[in-house]
Amino acid sequence: NAGVTQTPKFQVLKTGQSMTLQCAQDMNHEYMSWYRQDPGMGLRLIHYSVGAGITDQGEVPNGYNVSRSTTEDFPLRLLSAAPSQTSVYFCASSYSEEGAGELFFGEGSRLTVL
């Protein structure tokens, strides 16, 4: 069972470059979300989706875009990377549409913006 798969695991960008972090889950979960983790800051919600075609902003959405065209995939786009976006990014999914159920996390994507 693959669970939640994130790619790439590591990425280095220059300021102003764009990129997409991929997230796919094979558990048929309706709820998917993106978090960033910074030292001393815990896990902060960027964007989330309660189903295909539906997305909403979390606590720190600025500088990030998402879309949810299928149940399985929830990519996170950085349109113009900034050093403040250097972080570890986690994708998570849950069987519950309200996100109240157990969150299954991917292994993370470590992004460095120079």
Partner 1 sequence: GQQVMQIPQYQHVQEGEDFTTYCNSSTTLSNIQWYKQRPGGHPVFLIQLVKSGEVKKQKRLTFQFGEAKKNSSLHITATQTTDVGTYFCAGETTGANSKLTFGKGITLSVRP
Give contact residues for partner 1 (rule: CB under 8 A).
35, 40-45, 48, 56, 58-59, 90, 92, 98-108
Closest to partner 1 by CB, 10 vs 14, is 10
Q: Least separation, in Å, of the C-beta of 18 and partner 1?
A: 25
> Bridge-partner residues for 42, per DSSP?
38
Q: Least separation, in Å, of the C-beta of 40 and partner 1?
A: 7
- Cα–Cα distance for residue pair 1/33, rounded to 1 Å: 20
Contacts of 44-47 with C-beta under 8 Å, sequence gap 24+, read: 46/76, 46/89, 47/76
The structure tokens listed for 68 are: 């949810």
Cβ neighbours for 101, distance < 8 A, ≥ 6 positions apart: 31, 94, 95
Q: Least separation, in Å, of the C-beta of 28 and partner 1?
A: 18
Closest to partner 1 by CB, 19 vs 45, is 45
